[in-house]
Amino acid sequence: MLVTEKNAMTEEIEQLVEKYGSKRSSLLSILQDIQRKHKYIPDFAQQEVARLLDIHPVEVFSVISFYAFLNTKPKGKNIIRLCQTISCDMQGKSAVAKSIERELGIKFGETSKDNKFTLEYANCVGMCDQGPAMIINERVYYKLTPEKAIEILNGLK
C-alpha cells in the first residue's frame, strides 16, 4: 500500500470511528462500512481499526473471519451471491448457476480477471417464494432465469 493510500485509509477509518464511537460494540459497523466501499478489509485497515478502538489487531481479524460477508482478501467490484438453499434450488438454481459460470468464465468462489465480479453462493436469502434469487452488492434480484441473470450482470458496471 502506498503512503498516500495509507493516509487516506487512516482518515477514512478515523471518520468511521467518529461516526460510530470508539467502543468495541462499534466494530462490526465500522468493518461493514470498510467492506462495502473497498470490497475487503486490508491488513492495514485492520491495524488502524484496532489502534483506534484500542484492541489487538487479532481481535479484528477474528471478527472478520467469523462473518461470511466480511473478507480480508480483495474481491471483485460486484459480489454476486446466488442463493443455494433448497427452495431456490428446486426453482432452478443450478441452471442459473451454470449460465453465470459460463458467461463470466469463472467458477463459484472465484473473481473475474478484470476484477469486476466475484461469484459466491449464499445460504437462504429469504426470497424462497420468488426464487431463484441472488444478491449483488446490496440489491436483491429474484425469479431468475439463466437469461435474466445474464441480463442483470450485463447491466452492471
The contact set with other proteins (CB under 8 A) reads: 23-29, 31-32, 35, 62-63, 66-70, 84-87, 89-90, 122-131, 135, 138-140, 142
Distance of closest approach, residue 140 Cβ to other proteins, in angstroms = 5
Our CB check for other proteins shows the closer of 102 and 139 to be 139
Per-residue cell: 150:
445474464
Distance of closest approach, residue 68 Cβ to other proteins, in angstroms = 3
Our CB check for other proteins shows the closer of 140 and 150 to be 140
The CA distance from 146 to 144, in Å, is 7
Distance of closest approach, residue 44 Cβ to other proteins, in angstroms = 20
Beta carbons within 10 angstroms of residue 91's beta carbon: 20
Our CB check for other proteins shows the closer of 4 and 109 to be 109
Distance of closest approach, residue 37 Cβ to other proteins, in angstroms = 14
DSSP symbol at 39? S
Per-residue cell: 144:
431468475
Per-residue cell: 6:
495509507
The CA distance from 110 to 107, in Å, is 6
Asked if 54 and 47 count as a contact pair (C-beta separation under 8 A), the reply is: no
Our CB check for other proteins shows the closer of 2 and 66 to be 66
The CA distance from 123 to 26, in Å, is 26
Distance of closest approach, residue 145 Cβ to other proteins, in angstroms = 17
Our CB check for other proteins shows the closer of 31 and 45 to be 31
Secondary structure of residue 111 in the 3-state scheme: strand
